[in-house]
Amino acid sequence: MRHIDHFIAGGATSPAGRKHQIWNPSTGEVQAEVTLGDAALLDQAIANAKAVQPEWAATNPQKRARVMFKFKELIEDNMQELAELLSSEHGKVIDDAKGDVQRGLEVIEYACGIPQVLKGEYTQGAGPGIDVYSMRQPLGIGAGITPFNFPAMIPMWMFGMAIAAGNAFILKPSERDPSVPVRLAELFLEAGAPEGLLQVVHGDKEMVDAILDHADIAAVSFVGSSDIAHYVYKRGVAAGKRIQAMGGAKNHGIVMPDADLDQVVNDLSGAAFGSAGERCMALPVVVPVGHDTAERLKEKLIPAIHALNVGVSNDPDAHYGPVVTPEHKARVEGWIDTAEKEGGEIVVDGRGFTLQGHEKGFFVGPTLIDHVTTDMESYKEEIFGPVLQIVRAESFEDAVRLPSDHQYGNGVAIFTRNGHAAREFASRVNVGMVGINVPIPVPVSYHSFGGWKRSGFGDTDQYGTEGLKFWTKVKKVTQRWPDGGGDGNNAFIIPTMG
């Protein structure tokens, strides 16, 4: 059986410890195992990071950028390998896996411009003979705790900006699909990074707690479920760390009566069911405005959903593959059961789906549930599977209120031809990321990603300028070079700039 090692100080490390099984979601078979680390292993990684980080921080930004450029080239050269490895452990189809890598790569591309974005501010003559300037400096050692659903993209969102800014970084990926993060660390070393700058430690809650409690880790970035995000935020802040913790979502797609329904159905097919719905920016709730809109949309959705091809992860004709584990399959189907018991109409039922020749795979068929209401638990909570719920709205005001009142506030989309309605909706809705005729509004790498309410804990977003702020601290310098003519009488008075 294949064993997945920790990546410590530039090489594989495999100490004794508890083991975690890695599934092949398409076959339902165990394909590998990973050893879960502990606080002692983390101490080893921290020691390596402390040894290398000061010299890396002292390396000029242009040289750091060259490492990022080389890393970018290596990812592009190894795209197929990374996608196949990712697909084999996660279950998403190859093209979707390539998209996972590509969206992370775009943040690496942004990080290649670190000499430009790292520049501070300067004011000459702020007072008599006084100049003021600022500089952005790294925090020291950062850590990332990443989820199973994007094992390439989200790690690169985190360590790309952190390392380019001069920090060392320790990554704890999901124990469900850890191979791609290790491969990324190997490629980063090949790109010219010093040993110990990017290290990968595997683990579960024990390792998470060790990271949150370790005095030498200055900042932690997290993506996962909201309950755990809140836990990470509280424990990390209590330990004196800078924390950004991104949580779950229940993103809504508002469909106005004037929307192009053919385009909406096409967008919903990918946004609701792509990657088996295992995305925090999936679109699992559609909100048609008005009875006629709802009926017309439903009529078009049903054949489109039946036409979706569910297949193994390496099937080039599959629209989406299996979910990640047998436990997750049971959880998703359990939420469909709950929705039915709560009074939802199961229009298309994906429970009990099997794929010929892969009967043990963790497949869930596409599911459509109508007449979902806001008091249902299946609406309140994140299902994280290939399930689309229809929540009918009577008016535009209802359409604004539904996502605004929900506990999650990650993303929302509105489909309309009316510019005024779109502008009004974008201005008023209480959600962090808004798409206008864009079903999955994940901002490009030179903007920033982050939700509101229980979708995000902390004050800064992922990547872009917000990511740079998170991984750096600003030092402000006020300088004067006297010419020797001062009398020193005002040495005890706070200086002013008048």
Mean pLDDT of the chain: 96
Per-residue model confidence (pLDDT) at position 418 = 98
Terminal Cα distance for the chain, rounded: 73
Task: Give the integer Cα–Cα distance in Å for 90 and 345.
Answer: 30
Q: Helix count (H) and strand count (E) of the chain?
A: 16, 23
* pLDDT value of position 358: 96
Check whether 85 has a pLDDT greater than 90: yes
Cα→Cα distances 7→11, 185, 235, 456, Å: 5, 7, 26, 29
Please state whether beta strands 130-138 and 472-480 pair in parallel, antiparallel, or not at all (unpaired): antiparallel
Would the pLDDT of 209 be above 70?
yes
Q: Can you give the pLDDT at residue 486?
A: 56
- Measured distance CA(361)–CA(364) in Å, rounded: 9
Round the CA-based radius of gyration of the chain to a whole number and report it: 25
Give the 3-state secondary structure percentages of the chain, helix then strand then coil, rounded to 5: 40, 20, 40
**Cβ neighbours of residue 285 closer than 8 Å, sequence gap 6 or more:** 250, 251, 252, 253, 372, 379, 388, 389, 390, 391
What is the C-alpha to C-alpha distance for residues 358 and 270, in angstroms, rounded to an integer?
Answer: 23
CA-nearest of 301, 78, 263 to 179 is 78
Residues recognised as catalytic: 280
DSSP 298-355: HHHHHHHHHT--B--TT-TT-SB---S-HHHHHHHHHHHHHHHHTT-EEEE--TT--B
Please, where are the H alpha helices in 342-395? Answer: 377-380
The rounded Cα 301 to chain-centroid distance in angstroms is 29
Q: What phi, psi does 334 have (nearest 5°)? A: -65, -35
Question: CA-to-CA distance for 86 and 183, rounded, in angstroms?
Answer: 10
Percent of the chain with pLDDT over 90: 94
Whether pLDDT at 487 is above 60: no
Amino acid 17: pLDDT? 84
Tell me the per-residue pLDDT of 282-316, one tens digit each, with 9 for 90 and over: 999 999 999 999 999 999 999 999 999 999 999 99
Q: What is the pTM of this model?
A: 0.95
